[in-house]
Structures are given as structure tokens and as C-alpha cells.
Amino acid sequence: MATADSGEAPRDDAAVALDENGARQGTQPAVQARGVAEQRGLFDPQILRGALVGAFKKFDPRVQIKNPVMFVVLVGSIITLIESIAHPGIFDWSITVWLFLTVIFANFAEAMAEGRGKAQADTLRKMRSETEARRLRPDGTEEMVAAAELLKGDLVVCEANDIIPSDGEITEGVASVDESAITGESAPVIRESGGDRSAVTGGTKVLSDRIVVRITAERGQTFLDRMIRLVEGANRQKTPNEIALTILLAVLTIVFIPVVVALQPFGTYAGATVSVVILVSLLVCLIPTTIGALLSAIGIAGMDRLVQRNVLAMSGRAVEAAGDVQTLLLDKTGTITLGNRMASDFFPVGGHTEMEVADAAQLSSLADETPEGRSIVVLAKERFGIRERELTSPHSFVPFSATTRMSGLDVDGRQIRKGAAEAVKTWSSEQGGATPADLAEIVDRVARAGSTPLVVADGPEVLGVIELKDVVKAGIQEKFAEMRAMGIRTVMITGDNPLTAAAIAQEAGVDDYLAEATPETKMELIRSEQEGGKLVAMTGDGTNDAPALAQADVGVAMNTGTMAAKEAGNMVDLDSNPTKLIDVVEIGKQLLITRGSLTTFSIANDVAKYFAIIPALFIIAYPQLHSLNIMHLHSAQSAVLSAVIFNALVIVALIPLALRGVKFRATSAAAILRRNVLIYGVGGIIAPFIFIKLIDMILTALGAY
Amino acid sequence: MGFFWTIVVLVVALAVAWRYLGAYMVAVYEGRVHFFGFLERPIYRALGTSPEKEQNWKRYGASMIIFTGVSLLVTYALLRIQGHIGLFNPQHLSAVPSPLAFNTDISFITNTNWQNYGGETTMSYFSQIGALTVQQFMSAAVGMAVAVALIRGFARKESATIGNFWVDAVRGALYVLLPIAFVAGLIFVGQGAVQTLAGPAHIHDALNGVAQTIALGPVGFMEAIKQLGTNGGGFFNANSAHPFENPTGLTNLLSIVLLLCIPFAFTYVFGKMVGSLRQGIAVLVAMVALFGVWVGFTAYAEHQPNPAVAAAGQVHQPTGNTTGKEVRFGDTSSALFGVSSTMTSTGSADAAYDSFNPMGGFGLLTGMMLGEVSPGGVGSGMYTILLFAIIAVFIGGLMIGRTPEYLGKKIQAREVKLAGLGVLVMPIVVLVLTAIAVSTAAGRAGPLNAGPHGFSEILYAMTSQGNNNGSAFGGLTGDTNFYNIVGSIAMLLGRFAIMIPVLALAGALAAKNVVPHSLGTFKTDNTMFIGLLLGVIIIVGGLTFFPALALGPIVEQLSKGHFYGTGLIGPFISHLTAGRLF
């Protein structure tokens, strides 16, 4: 995938490793983005055009009423329109036009944010070609039907170059599948029946082999359909925090209505005639129009930023929750370490040589297709030039099993085994061998270093130890330090034994770890964190992760995972990169910060507007109030108009900020607050003084007033 | 004693009160003080309740309304039949007229003590004691109970209840107000405040050949609870400027200590009960900062020459503006008393606020307009500043990228709605009622002065009643049907339209779980939070009242051509504002 906006936080572009799923782990900047996250500039001309049209369409009062702040502006502009018609004058008309423009700018901001999602949805729709499906009849024969006619439970056959017609589960066979249409990732992935890799997605393409798929989705409810609806924002609902903020903005709007309306009788008492147009202008300037206009755009853009990173959030609520997360549960494999353990050393015991260990280790691993097994062969070759050999004499491989906990090879009367230290030790002593004195110490040392010790034995003779090392990703330690500064606790989840887990946890710099994790202990951990009031985020892919994903406040399912996992989580990562959980948290925080900062800015702006409008309002009754005209604005009319123009233009000026989000730095809450209060609070007080003065000077220079 | 030493003594006395009275109040509300158990238990039995019977917020609120309703009826009845109660009525005063009785009744049950009457000529001693002083205890105890309920909302975790109203009110009155008021009353009487039921003294001045009636009464003890309960309703019309109410410099200082001690000590109660004294100190610092600035500003303003006197030829006024001041207290001390009284919703007065310089009056007026939070009334100051704190936390919390929380309680739609409602009520009530007053003939008949000062008089009256302060700017004829009724509406809304959302908030908060503190939490016990809280208080108060203020005291001051002719601020502002005319 490609980088999206420049406003993004730096991403961990760790090296790519293939895991046992054959799916890619880690991100790869070189891969061209396709799929949903098609890159568009912030002001893509196509989106701009659509947004301009949308800005006018949104004038519908039914749309406007949903936003109390902008609704008041709309009502105000209608009042000034009536006044302008009743008493035509250039000033009244100018105010009316600028008030309408204020509403249009707000609509435009929202339409801009929506437009980006709509453009992405269109791209997806184009891909959703009307496919033909080969449905299996109960008697085993095939019939061709349109994908649209497929029902849940139907069986279909897909062979090389077929597009999988709908979401389903492989019941038979194994195939490599190109999922780039969904993920943008060009490397094919392996899908096979049974286990956690059986789910296939409609719209993806089979590259080789033949599979039988049982359809699991109703028409219109496929993953692709859901994805289109999500990026389009069709079911967008206000999130809890957005509702709370809307209430606060409504409060700040309601309170200013009596403030302004009361000025009419106050003015009359003072012997002044108060212009309705100026009163409406004052009201519009005082209510928080800036944040009111940009609020929904900020929310939509937050979801959009996730999509840009190939993460689909099922609801805005999940994005908000991400900002609140206090505990991150991170799978060790793929997130903290590069993926798989690699053989890094051979340690001989009992007087054997390193060469002997390497030779036996290589032999025992010839048939071992796991990445660990392959890494032993590679290491033996690198260190001692031991090549892969063709076994000519009769031999049999002993596969790994959970009960024996070892694997190996029987050849020429030799029984070579490698496996867990305890298992091999027991096995060799059963063969009549004695355990070398130095074995325990070496095994212990390797384990304490966070590596996995595998013991190699040739019959009764224990030869030595293979160290399988977990390689911690570069830069991950800094990432965790940032998390800590933000007050987020990181917990590493691993199936390793506590000793190994502790060593890796220390090397990676996580706060805590859960060793020998099972779905049950994971669930228990989430529950206990939540009982303490914490919000928990996790990633998962397997079906057995589904309950935990559902329980977590933010559950990011890997796209390579099972359908059950994807349905349980509230986000899906199309890249299947668990490290992205950290990005998700940052995007959630950035969304909330943007809201808070623009609210502060909006309220702080009011101070300057008062100094522009109040002296102008009562200048005839009380000329002495000109002392409050500290900006030395040219005339009463230019002062009011300047304030209104500033109020409208600031919305447009802040659209890029709303869409891109306030710059987020991973640091302590206090530092973030200080920075934002300074920029948006203090800056929000000062900026309008400067710009209102500037606008006034321009109006004066134009000879308008 | 100079102004400086007054401040020093005040700070020391309040610091001691904060620490020890605060700790004592915590013990009282946590049920660890029992020395009046023999009185307390029968009351609970009579009410059919007990400290173990906790209430949810609705029951708590309903109990509060029932209690207030009964108080309202009893007080009204007593004022109306005072002529028929043969007790303690040496002047044979007859019934208080009904609109005035209604206004006075509401004024005392809402802890406002707005007085559209002259005490010595309207109220029998029985009414002063049995109707008014009783409510001075009980309305204060109600305010404190509501504050304690809100604090419990923060302190508790997943709790359905917020305490028991009857128990909180009884304990507050019995253990906090009564003992302190008793001791303070003794000091007042010892210093020369009158305390008698014998009726007025009749003096025949043989030298000048005139007969005089000197009003007397049970003043000294009423004076103590008047200040301690931030009530402000004095026995005499002249309030604390009257030598029988406030006889010496010591009682003047004691008055200030009394009216500030409980409101400030509530921050200690808050800190202790939520388990972090630092949280209470943060709120305290915000209160003290506002209070200090307002005292400084107002004292400075009063130390300036009175512009009207200057215009009459007396330009040199070394003792500041002495018009309408007791010479015993002088300019700055009267300003200190005035700010203490207006910023605590007390409303007592030892000078004529109407005669303050425009900017001095501005200080008193804005002290109330900030919502009575620095430190505010007993209890009411605490719960109102917590409403502002919730709004500050909401905005500030967002800015750090978390959905906001205060003391571990998530601030969500419901909390914002209730806090917003509580903050909205006062400005809307004040502005709307002022607008009505200035646009009706009945309202316009009230003020003594024309122009901006007349406007200030009406605005002040509405602000004072809407904030349950009760101080009078003077100059306004208040005992008319119009002002009696409009004022009653302001006082009722200003009290209960805030208390009900506060109790609902207490219930909502108590029901929530607590989010554990982490480095990513928005801190509410540091300078940044104090700054934000002050910002929200000043911006909300400032933005809502700036236009009205511009038409009252600001334009009045500007009519003299400048803010202050001399001093530090004057030249600066003159320089800043020396712009062109439009």
C-alpha cells in the first residue's frame, strides 16, 4: 500500500516476512496501492466538483436541522434576506450573501469529506463485475448461474482464473488466490479447506488449482457490499462523542440567542435603534459555526484516514474507542517479532563438535517444511557448507506431533531427533543414553535469552542444542516507548513459555506479557482489564480469536483470518498487519484532538468578534463605546461585515485541517494539551483580531465602505 | 488595620478554616460526628428515614423539593400571620403584604435573601427568628447537601445512590452551621451587636426637643448565620453598614471570614472525598485566583476618585471614593467586603453599592455574573464550579485525544447535557428578565437613575436574584408587584433549575465505573487545568454578559472619557483605545 496524506504519523515499515499462512506480514512500501485505498490528493478535482454540487444539495432543511449550529445560521440568513428585500441596501445584501456562503461552506466541507469515500466506493463498484458462478448440483454436476442468484449454502466450483462469485468457505481443495482487488496487495495468498485459512472473499481471483466453496453470505451482504457501504458512509451514525459535542455546541448556540435577542430591548432602553441585520450577524459570529460546520467532516475524514491505511472500521464508535484505548494486546508473532523463529546457533554438548550438531540438525530438518526447519537447513549451509542431500538409502521421516514434541529421521539405523529439550532428553535416556552434564545449563541459557532451545540427539547420544531466535522488529521499542508516554499499556500475547516470553518482552520493551496464551486466558485478560475500566484493543485472525475480538473494545481482524474473526471484530485490516493496531490508536486520538482543537478555536474566536461588533452596534447611542474598537476598524458597517466574512472564510481555511486532522505527536497528555491550547486557544484569540483587521482594510481599500 | 494586614489575617484564617473545617465537614458528611445524636436520631425517626437508607438521585431530588415546598408554605404562612402571633412582636407589626411575603419567602428558601423590605419596619422579631433565620440555616444546609451529593457522584463507583437528603441536610445544619454560628454570634454580641427581644428603644432628646425611636432586636446571632450561610439578609435595612449589625472592625473582618470559610472549605471536602486532595486544591486555586483578581480590581477602582465628586470640583480625593461608604471601613475594605459578599452569593453589604465607581460596580456585578463560583455560596459554589469543570474537561480532554473523563468518570452526552443545562440557566434567566424589565413600563418605573446607570440598576437586580446572591445595588424600587414577581421567578429558576440538573448529574456520575488513571489521562490537578477552568468560566460569563455590561457600567465609565485617569492600567488602556472614531 502507499502512503496516504502527508499528515500521517510515521509507519513502521518493517521488513516483510512470510509466515506459515503464506500471507505477507508487515507492510511493503513498494507495492502499488489498489483496492480501496486508492490514493487521491486532498483536493482531487473530481471530488471538488462533486462537493460543490453537494454543497447546494445539502440546503435541504431536513439535512440542516441535524446540525443545530448551522440551522441557526440558515434561519439567520433567511431573516437578513427578508430584511434586505424590505430595505434594500448594499450592506444588508452583503451580509445576507455572506451568511448564505457560511452555510454553503459548511455543506461543502461535509460534501468534501463524503466525496472521498464515494469516490472509493465507485472504484469498488467497478470491480464488482457480474460474475458467472459454477454451482454444484447435489448430484455432483455443475450448472452455470449468475452470481446474483447464489444463495447462502450453495456450493460453487472455482478454478484457475475464475473470480470467486461471493463470500464463502472452502470445503474442498487448496488454491492460491489473488486478493489484490480487496487489499491492494499483489502477492497471492494460499486458501485451503479446514482451519483458519478457509475463508474466501467475493471478487477475488483464483490463480491456480480447484476449490469448492460453500457460499456463506446472502446476496447484497457480502464483504465487498459491506465495504462499499462503509467507505461511502451510507449508514453513518453520529458517534457517542460526536453527540456529546453536538450537545455542547447546541448549549453554546442556545445561550447566545437570548444574549443577542435581549440586545434589542436593551438598545431601545438606551435610545438606540438596533439593526436586525447586525443582530443576526452578531449571533452568527458568536455561535460556534467553525466547529459546527466542520464537525461531521472531521468524523468522516477520520474513517477515511483509516481506509487510506487499508483498515475498515465497522463504525465510527470503534474509531473513537481507539483513541481511548489504554491496553493494547499485541500478538508477538508478526507484531513484535519478525514472524518466525530462526536458527541462530548450534551449541555442542558432551564433547561433541559444533559440526556434528549441525549435521544432525540438518538431517533431522530435511523434511521439516516449517520456517524454523528451513532456517536450520539454511544455517547449517551457511556455517558449515552442509548442502541439502538426496537420501539414497531407505529412510523414514518422523513428523512432529504434539504428544512426542519432536521430529526427525530414521536412516541407516540412526535415529536422529530434534525437539523440545525435555522431550528429547527423556527419549534419549529411554534409548539408554546418559544426559550430558552441560546440557541443562546451555538449554537454560538459551531459554533465558528469549530463544527457543531445540535439543538434537542421535539415538542415545545427545549431540547439542539449536538456538531458535526470535528476531524483534527494528524500531518497535521506540514505538512502545511512545505508547507508554501516551499512557497506553502494551501487553505481548504469546504461546511461548514464561521464560522465553519474559526475555522477548524485555527486549521489545512491552509493559507486560501473557505467556502460554490460549483463547481462554486471552479472554480472561481482556475481561480483567475491562473490569478495571480500561478499554482494550487487540488483533486476531483465527476463529478461536472471535470471542476475544468481540469482547475487546477495538478488535482488529486480519483480512487473512476467518470470516468468524472478521465478523466478531469491529475493524478489518486488509493488509493483515498486526502492527497497524498502533496506527489505529493514533488515528482515533487524532480524530478527537481535531474536534477538541477546533471547538477551542471556534470559542476563542468570539472575543475578537465582540470587539468588532459591539461598538458598531451602539455607536449612535453611545459614541464613547468607540474605545472598545481596539482594532480601529474603518466604520460600523465594515466592522460587522469583516467579522462575518472572517467567520465564513475561516471555515474554508480550516477544511484541509479538518480532513487531514490536527498533527498528532505521540507524547504525554500534558505536552499534547499544552501545544493545542497554545495553538488553538491562544492562537484562536489572536488570529481573528489580525484577519478581521485585514479584511476591514481590504474592504476599505476597495472603497466599499 | 491597613488593607494589607486585613488580607494577611484573612488568608491565615481561611487557610486554617480550609484545612480543619474542611476535614471536619468530611467527617460530618461521612457520618463520623455524632455529638448531637440525641437530636439527630429523633428527627430521622420522625421523618421515617435513617442514614442507612440511601436514595437515588430522583428520590434525593424529590426529598429536596418536598422539604423546600414545606419551607415555602410555612414561611409564607408565618409572614402573613405575624400580626396574630402574639409572640415577640413588640412593635405590633401586622401581616406582610402578600406579593412582598411571597418574594421574601422565596428569597429566603433559595438562600438569596433579596430584601424588598426594610427589616426593622416590616418584620416582627418572631418572623425574623422563626421564619427568616430558620431558613437561613436550612437553605444553606440544602445547598451544602446538594454539593455533597454531587461530590459523592464523583467519588462513588457504579453506585445507584448518592446519599440521603434528609440526613445530609440535618447533619449540615446541626453539626456545621449551628455550632459555628453560635460561637460567632457570641462574638458579634460581645462586640456590641444588639441581641434583645425587648423592642425598640424610645429616646427623648431633651436638648433638641425631639423623640427618637431606635430599632433594636435579636440581631447578633442572626448576623452570624447571615454571613456563615452566605445568606446576606440582615435584620436592618442598612445591613452590615448598620453599627448594631456590624459594630466593629473585628466583626467586619469576622463577617468576611464567615462568608468565605465554608465555600472555600468545600474544595477540601471535594478533594478528600474523591480521594485526591490535589483535585480539591486545583479547584481552590481557580476560586482564589478569580477572587483575588476581583478584589484587586474592585479595590483599585474604589481607590480612584469618584468622577461625580471630581466633576463638582473636588478633584483630589486621597481616600478614594468615599461616597456611600461607612467611614469606619473606607474604600478598599468596603470593596473587599463587597466582592466577598457578591462572589459568595451572600449579598450582605457594608456600603452602598450603588455609589461605587462605575468600575467598582462592574467588579461586583461581574463577580455574580461568573456564576457565583469563586467561591460561591455554601455548597452552590462548589456544585456550580464543578459544572464548569465538566465543560472544561470535555473540551480539554478532547484536545489530548481521549473521550473526556473527570476523576475517572467518562464525560458523555448525558453529562454534557446536564452540565450545559446547569450553566445555561443563569445567563438566560438574567438576560431575559432584564430584557422584560427594560421593555415594560412597570419595569422601567423601578430604577432611580436614567441612562446607563439606571440600566445597571435593573441588570444588577436581575443578576443578583438570578444568582441567589441577594445583594442590592440600591436605587431600584423593588417592592412593586412587577419586581416582586419577576424577582421570585429569577430566584426560583436560579436555584432549582440548577440544582435538579446537578442532582441528575450526581446520579449519572455515581452509576459510572472509574477509568483508571494513566499517563494519557487528562490531568485535572495541574496548572493547565486551572487555566482551562478559569478560561471556561470567564469566557462563558464574559461572552454572555459582555453586551449587557457594555451598555451599563462600561459605557458609564467611558462617559468619563477614559477608564482610569491615573494609575497603572489607565495610561495603558488609553493608549490602546486612542483610536479614530468610526
Question: What pLDDT is recorded for position A35?
Answer: 45
Examine the pLDDT at A169 and tell me if it is beyond 50. Answer: yes
Is position B338 within any domain? no
Residue B100 binned pLDDT confidence (cut-offs 50, 70, 90): very high
B-interface mutation test, from A269, A528, A628, most B Cβ less than 10 A away: A269
Q: Cα A527–A533–A535 angle (5° rounding)?
A: 70
Q: Is A109 on the interface with B (CB under 8 A)?
A: no
Surface of A (281-340) touching B: CB under 8 A: 286, 320, 323-324, 326
Distances (CA, A) of A218 to A181, A224, A307, A560, B266: 20, 12, 24, 21, 62
Q: Which secondary-structure segment (H or E) carries A467?
A: strand A461-469
Residues 6+ apart with CB under 8 A from A338: A14, A15, A17, A25, A26, A470, A471, A472, A473
Return left, alpha or beta for B319; rule: phi > 0 is left, psi -120 to 50 is alpha, else beta.
Answer: alpha
Examine the pLDDT at B469 and tell me if it is beyond 90. Answer: yes
What are the percentages of helix, strand and coil residues in chain B, rounded to 5?
A: 65, 5, 35
Which of B515, B542, B547 lies closest to A263 in CB terms? B547
Distances (CA, A) of A174 to A185, A193, A210, A213, A217: 20, 6, 7, 11, 21
Question: What pLDDT is recorded for position B16?
Answer: 97
Q: Which of A12, A92, A331, A541 is catalytic?
A: A331
Examine the pLDDT at A8 and tell me if it is beyond 70. Answer: no
- State the amino acid at position B464 in one-letter form: S
Where are the extended beta strands (E) located within A485-545?
Answer: 489-493, 512-514, 536-540
Q: Is A263 on the interface with B (CB under 8 A)?
A: yes
Q: Is A685 on the interface with B (CB under 8 A)?
A: no
Percent of chain B with pLDDT over 90: 71
- State the amino acid at position B454 in one-letter form: G
B57-80 vs B134-155: helix crossing angle, rounded to 10: 170
Percent of chain B with pLDDT over 70: 96
Examine the pLDDT at A287 and tell me if it is beyond 90. Answer: yes
Residues 6+ apart with CB under 8 A from A232: A117, A118, A120, A121
Q: Under DSSP, is residue A661 helix (H, G, I), strand (E, B) or coil?
A: coil
Clarify whether A209 is annotated catalytic: no
Lowest average pLDDT, out of A148-157, B276-285, B435-444, goes to A148-157
Examine the pLDDT at A480 and tell me if it is beyond 90. Answer: no
Examine the pLDDT at B138 and tell me if it is beyond 90. Answer: yes
Examine the pLDDT at A27 and tell me if it is beyond 80. Answer: no
Q: Which secondary-structure segment (H or E) carries B535?
A: helix B527-549
Nearest CA in chain B to A484: B519
CA distance A49 to A266: 47
Surface of A (468-497) touching B: CB under 8 A: 484-489
Residue B226 binned pLDDT confidence (cut-offs 50, 70, 90): very high
Q: Is A601 on the interface with B (CB under 8 A)?
A: no
How much is the mean pLDDT over chain A?
83
Residues 6+ apart with CB under 8 A from B276: B407, B525
Examine the pLDDT at B580 and tell me if it is beyond 60. Answer: no
Residue A262 binned pLDDT confidence (cut-offs 50, 70, 90): very high
Give the residue carrying C-alpha cell 474554508: A652
Residue A185 binned pLDDT confidence (cut-offs 50, 70, 90): low
Q: In terms of C-beta density within 10 A (0-12 exposed, 13-18 middle, 19 or more buried), how is residue B226 classed?
A: buried
Mean pLDDT (whole number) for A600-614: 90
Examine the pLDDT at A208 and tell me if it is beyond 90. Answer: no
The answer to whether the Cβ–Cβ distance between A486 and B547 falls below 8 Å is no
Question: What pLDDT is recorded for position A521?
Answer: 87
Give Dmax over CA atoms of chain A in angstroms. 116
Which of B399, B427, B436 lies closest to A676 in CB terms? B399
Which of B391, B408, B434 lies closest to A248 in CB terms? B391
Q: What is the pLDDT of residues A627-660, one digit of tens each?
A: 888 888 988 889 999 999 999 999 999 999 999 9
Distance from CA of A35 to the nearest CA of B (A): 30
Question: What pLDDT is recorded for position B175?
Answer: 97
CA distance B372 to B361: 16
Is position B161 within any domain? yes
Residue A234 binned pLDDT confidence (cut-offs 50, 70, 90): low
If one counts every other C-beta atom within 10 angstroms of the C-beta of residue A16, the result is 16
Q: Under DSSP, is residue B410 helix (H, G, I), strand (E, B) or coil?
A: strand
Q: Please, are residues B415 and B558 in contact by the beta-carbon 8 Å criterion? A: no
Q: What is the pLDDT of residues B177-208, one digit of tens each?
A: 999 999 999 999 999 999 999 889 988 888 88
Name the residue among A77, A69, A9, A99 with its Cα closest to residue A294. Answer: A69
Mean pLDDT (whole number) for A429-436: 84
Report the complex ipTM: 0.91
Omega before B42 within 30 of 0, i.e. cis: no
Q: b/e string for B561-580 if b means 16 or more Cβ within 10 A?
A: ebbbeeeeeeeeeeeebeee
Residue A298 CB-half CA count within 13 A: 31
Q: Please, are residues B563 and B556 in contact by the beta-carbon 8 Å criterion? A: no
Distance from CA of A331 to the nearest CA of B (A): 23
Which of A286, A618, A626 lies closest to B579 in CB terms? A626
Q: For residue A554, what is its C-alpha cell?
A: 477495538
Q: What is the pLDDT of residues B18-41, one digit of tens each?
A: 999 999 999 999 999 999 999 999
The answer to whether the Cβ–Cβ distance between A617 and B518 falls below 8 Å is no
Lowest average pLDDT, out of A180-184, A420-424, A588-592, B131-135, goes to A180-184
The count of domains in chain B is: 1
Distance from CA of B515 to the nearest CA of A (A): 4
Structural domain for B104, as ranges: 3-275
CA distance A386 to B455: 101
Strand A168-172 to strand A211-215: parallel, antiparallel, or no bridges (unpaired)? antiparallel
The answer to whether the Cβ–Cβ distance between B416 and A487 falls below 8 Å is no
Between the ranges A205-209, B262-266, B317-321, where is the mean pLDDT highest? B262-266
Mean pLDDT (whole number) for A454-471: 88
Between A394 and B62, the more confident residue is B62
Distance from CA of B388 to the nearest CA of A (A): 12
Lowest average pLDDT, out of A290-294, A421-425, B178-182, B363-367, goes to A421-425
Nearest CA in chain B to A530: B515
Is position B434 within any domain? no
Question: What pLDDT is recorded for position B430?
Answer: 96
Q: Under DSSP, is residue A410 helix (H, G, I), strand (E, B) or coil?
A: strand
Question: What pLDDT is recorded for position B527?
Answer: 92
Question: What pLDDT is recorded for position A200?
Answer: 84
Name the residue among A288, A285, A292 with its Cα closest to residue A617. Answer: A285
Q: For residue B90, what is its C-alpha cell?
A: 413588640
Lowest average pLDDT, out of A324-338, B111-125, B415-429, goes to A324-338
Question: What pLDDT is recorded for position A339?
Answer: 65
The answer to whether the Cβ–Cβ distance between A258 and B576 falls below 8 Å is no
Distance from CA of A54 to the nearest CA of B (A): 29
Is position B230 within any domain? yes
Examine the pLDDT at B578 and tell me if it is beyond 60. Answer: no
If one counts every other C-beta atom within 10 angstroms of the C-beta of residue B338, the result is 28
CA distance B87 to B1: 42
- What length is written for chain B? 582
Between B317 and B362, the more confident residue is B362
The answer to whether the Cβ–Cβ distance between B551 and A616 falls below 8 Å is no
B57-80 vs B481-510: helix crossing angle, rounded to 10: 160
Residue B160 binned pLDDT confidence (cut-offs 50, 70, 90): very high
- Find the radius of gyration of the CA atoms of chain B: 23
Residue B569 binned pLDDT confidence (cut-offs 50, 70, 90): very low
Examine the pLDDT at A107 and tell me if it is beyond 90. Answer: yes
- What length is written for chain A? 705
Examine the pLDDT at A562 and tell me if it is beyond 90. Answer: no
Nearest CA in chain A to B391: A248
Examine the pLDDT at B121 and tell me if it is beyond 80. Answer: yes
Mean pLDDT (whole number) for A349-357: 87
Q: Please, are residues B240 and B252 in contact by the beta-carbon 8 Å criterion? A: yes
Is position B386 within any domain? no
Residue B210 binned pLDDT confidence (cut-offs 50, 70, 90): confident
Q: Is A559 on the interface with B (CB under 8 A)?
A: no
Q: Please, are residues A206 and A175 in contact by the beta-carbon 8 Å criterion? A: yes
A669-676 vs A580-604: helix crossing angle, rounded to 10: 40
CA distance A492 to A336: 8
